Amino acid sequence: MGKPKHDRYQDYVIRDGRLVGEFEDMYRDWDDPWEQTTREAFATEKAVVLNLIAASGAKRVLELGCGLGHFTARIAALGVDALGVDVSETAVEKARRRHPPPVTFSVGDVLDFDVYRSFDPQVIVMAEITWYILDKLDPLLAFLREEMSGCELIHLLTVYPPGRQQYGREFFVDLPGIMAYFDLNYREWGSIYNAHHDGCGRTYFSAEI
């Protein structure tokens, strides 16, 4: 692996308050962006999601923006049919090498609606990807309401202390704003804070579409 294009993996995604979206380059240059296979493996909100899925009795779970596939594999370990989808071909290749079948992965965009139709999930998981798809949220939500009615959506997103957020403020800045924007039938929601998050909140909600 040569010298990374940027010194921080975050700069491939959002830089100077603007979306960059260089996900393919990021996964080529960095082995473990967002510490997906280390620190994130023990994130409290991820444990909450696993509990929600287990309690739902779902048999098919779709994770959007699966990255290296670690969380998709943990979902599959619950005994469900889990499909992880990511826009980066490199991320999906790495996920397949790290997590062999029965976990499955596919390259795709969140607006590749045929993936939803063919897999027919009972639960859809969006874990920390929403800041990167703000321009796609409206068509995604319109499709989910039209064709995925009755499915459960579990959503995770980090929010930031006042004055720190630069990108996406016109959409929402906190959990109440996120929930108002999605406008779903909410079952459970909350925010998790700890000393290592630098004032950031890890929000989650579970809702019926």
Choice among 18-22, 37-41, 42-46, 142-146 with the minimum mean pLDDT: 37-41
Q: Which residues, at least 6 apart from 46, have a Cβ–Cβ distance to it below 8 Å?
A: 40, 71, 74, 127, 156
- Give the predicted TM-score (pTM) of the model: 0.95
Per-residue model confidence (pLDDT) at position 38: 87
Under a CB-based contact definition with an 8 Å cutoff, are residues 161 and 200 in contact? yes
pLDDT at 100 over 90: yes
Half-sphere exposure in the Cβ direction for 195 (13 Å, CA): 0
pLDDT at 77 over 90: yes
pLDDT at 1 over 80: no
How much is the mean pLDDT over the chain? 95
- The mean pLDDT of 92-118, rounded to a whole number, is 97
Residue 49 forms beta bridges with which residues? none
Per-residue model confidence (pLDDT) at position 32: 93
Give domain limits for the chain.
35-208
Q: Which 3-state string (H, E, C) describes 143-193? A: HHHHHCCCCEEEEEEEECCCCCCCCCCCCCCCHHHHHHHHCCEEEEEEEEC
> What is the rounded distance in angstroms from the CA atom of residue 104 to the CA atom of residue 101?
6
Per-residue model confidence (pLDDT) at position 155: 98
pLDDT range class, residue 119, cuts 50, 70, 90: very high
Per-residue model confidence (pLDDT) at position 2: 66
Under a CB-based contact definition with an 8 Å cutoff, are residues 101 and 71 in contact? no
Domain 35-208: CATH superfamily, name plus number: Vaccinia Virus protein VP39 (3.40.50.150)
**What would the pLDDT profile of 157-208 be if each residue is shown by its tens digit?**
999 998 889 899 999 999 999 999 999 999 999 999 988 778 899 999 999 9
Pairing of strands 18-19, 14-15: antiparallel
Per-residue model confidence (pLDDT) at position 194: 86
Per-residue model confidence (pLDDT) at position 93: 98
pLDDT at 76 over 60: yes
Per-residue model confidence (pLDDT) at position 130: 98
pLDDT at 111 over 60: yes
Per-residue model confidence (pLDDT) at position 162: 87
